[in-house]
Amino acid sequence: MEIRIVEETTSTNTALYEEGLAGRRDDCMLVAFRQTNGKGRRGRDFYSPVDTGLYLSIFLHTEMEVSKAMLLTPLMAVAASEAVEKYIDDSMSIKWVNDLYYKDKKVSGILTESSPLTLDGKTEFVVIGIGLNLFEPEGGFPEDIKNRAGAIFYKNIKNVTDMSHNELVDFKKELAQVILERFEFWYSKFPDELPVEEYRKRSYISSRWVQILDGPEVFVEGISDDFGLAIQYKNGSKNILKAGEVSLVL
Ligand code: BTN
């Protein structure tokens, strides 16, 4: 699929979403080096400074049930982990459902948005966006996120501190390309074969206690075959969460 690269946009998700509403039919990837209005889940901002991050979205013109479209978030989590791991010696962790962690810090978030639904409840298009903190911004992360945000490449990547602006741009283009390759690999098997094993082995919260957002503390037994979170409540009853947000109990 086509890759478009821009220096700056409001949000790669919003840009592609608007193109979708205006009638875009072709799948594509939009990469930006900076977003002025990066969006996170639950209406939060996604801090998207120039130079230190990579922001991209994939547009898929596809009719599917929303429950199926939701599986594209963990699919992207696996694809991006595999891509990044080509450049580091250890593995990424995936915090259910849409965050990538590295060395116990959130280094990436994923936001999947569906088009308005058709009358029979299907998507017309889906936009899957991911933002990666490649390096730590000069002066560190902003106060409100600095305790949990981190960067992937501190001293992992060879000669990173010596990279010129152009080399950095080339590196980001290459990484975006590798993410797309891994995404297309898994998407070509979707939904018959899902990268659940690849997700499980990176799961950050399996066998740990977490707090469900606005809910109780539960024990995470693992990841179900359709990327649900298999949990056990303190009273022993079990459930599988299909969506939501949890935080680690420390
Ligand atoms: C989250 O952590 O809550 C999700 C963050 C998703 C950020 C990416 S950056 C590329 C794409 N464009 C956006 O505005 N958001 C997503």
pLDDT tens column, 20-35? 999 999 999 999 999 9
Mean per-residue pLDDT over the chain, rounded: 93
Give the model's pLDDT for residue 161: 56
Query: Measured in Å, how far apart are the chain's first and last C-alpha atoms?
Result: 43
Q: Is the pLDDT of residue 131 over 90?
A: yes
Ligand 1 center to residue 179 CA distance, Å? 15
User: Cβ(26)–Cβ(2) under 8 Å?
Assistant: yes
How much is the average pLDDT of 91-112?
96
Confidence of residue 139 (pLDDT cuts 50, 70, 90): confident
Stated pTM of the model:
0.94
Q: Which residue has the higher pLDDT, 248 or 99?
A: 99
Ligand 1 center to residue 231 CA distance, Å? 27
Cβ of 123 less than 6 Å from ligand 1: no
Ligand 1: which atom is nearest the Cα of residue 53?
A: 9
Q: Which of 31, 76, 59, 38 is nearest to 126 (CA)?
A: 59
- Cα(240)–Cα(10) distance, integer angstroms: 36
Match 């947000």 to its residue by tokens.
Answer: 245
- Cα(227)–Cα(241) distance, integer angstroms: 9
- Cα(230)–Cα(51) distance, integer angstroms: 38
Give the model's pLDDT for residue 141: 86
Ligand 1 center to residue 235 CA distance, Å? 36
User: Cβ(129)–Cβ(72) under 8 Å?
Assistant: no
Ligand 1: which atom is nearest the Cα of residue 42?
A: 3
Give the model's pLDDT for residue 138: 80
Give the model's pLDDT for residue 193: 97
- Cα(181)–Cα(80) distance, integer angstroms: 10
Ligand 1 center to residue 19 CA distance, Å? 17
